Structure 1
């Protein structure tokens, strides 16, 4: 049986109107063989989580440039946890100071990527995480 593709939801929560980076990472993940769902601009945490559950994703990747990362990442995590979907990796990137990245990691958020990070680094991180934590989707939904 062939190995299933990693499913990633790329989202732009909040009021940030710049999505070039999100589109670049979505294309890089797709080129790396992952199934990618891009939700578009101006998503609420609830919209992101609803899409993640509906699309049965392994990873939620948030792109946040607005400075609201300390609110939006924890909000998405709490909503996923409330839905029993705490097995979904939350990762992402944007303009996020290193000390905020560390604080978010302590709250259960995965690795975050800042400006200048190569798309290959994000692809490798997601692949490595999935190799270690990947789940059998059928067993979760029985």
Structure 2
């Protein structure tokens, strides 16, 4: 069961899904999250949705930042949400990022992705979104 202490640092899983071998952006996020005081776990390349859900459960994360640049976001992001639900994980903020067309964002959000961020999104914007979102989840 997730420990809901306001004083605990945000623990975030940064995950690279599928056959996307480009991780520069994900590594930039890892560093920015760490510099913002978060505890960061990185999945490494080529993670499956079930592997991401397992890491989230094992590490008791507060948030998951999914990164995908190969265009499979409409398929793989919802699969992560489905795997989390199978495990009964409901109190995790799930974010998606990468090269995601504007017209896909609403569908991803309806499918359980809490926030979608594209290239050029300022890092403080993403960090603020995570901090506020996790804070709300901890009050539930």
TM-score by length of 1: 0.91
Tell me if 1:85 matches 2:89: yes
Structure 1 unaligned segments of length 5 or more: list them.
137-142
| 1:16 matched residue in structure 2 | 20
Cα offset for 1:135?
Answer: 5.9
The one of 107, 117, 124 equivalent to 1:120 is: 124
CA offsets, 1:92-132, max 9 Å, x none? 20000111111111112111110111111110000010121
The one of 49, 56, 60 equivalent to 1:56 is: 60
Tell me if 1:43 matches 2:47: yes
Secondary structure of the residue aligned to 1:108 is: coil
Tell me how large the CA RMSD over aligned residues is.
1.5
| 2:69 matched residue in structure 1 | 65
Secondary structure of the residue aligned to 2:26 is: helix
Q: How far apart, in 2, do the equivalents of 1:2 and 1:88 lie? A: 15
Secondary structure of the residue aligned to 1:134 is: helix
TM-score by length of 2: 0.92
Cα offset for 1:87?
Answer: 1.4
Structure 2 unaligned segments of length 5 or more: list them.
none
Aligned length: 136
| 1:7 matched residue in structure 2 | 11
Q: How far apart, in 1, do the equivalents of 2:91 and 2:8 lie? A: 17
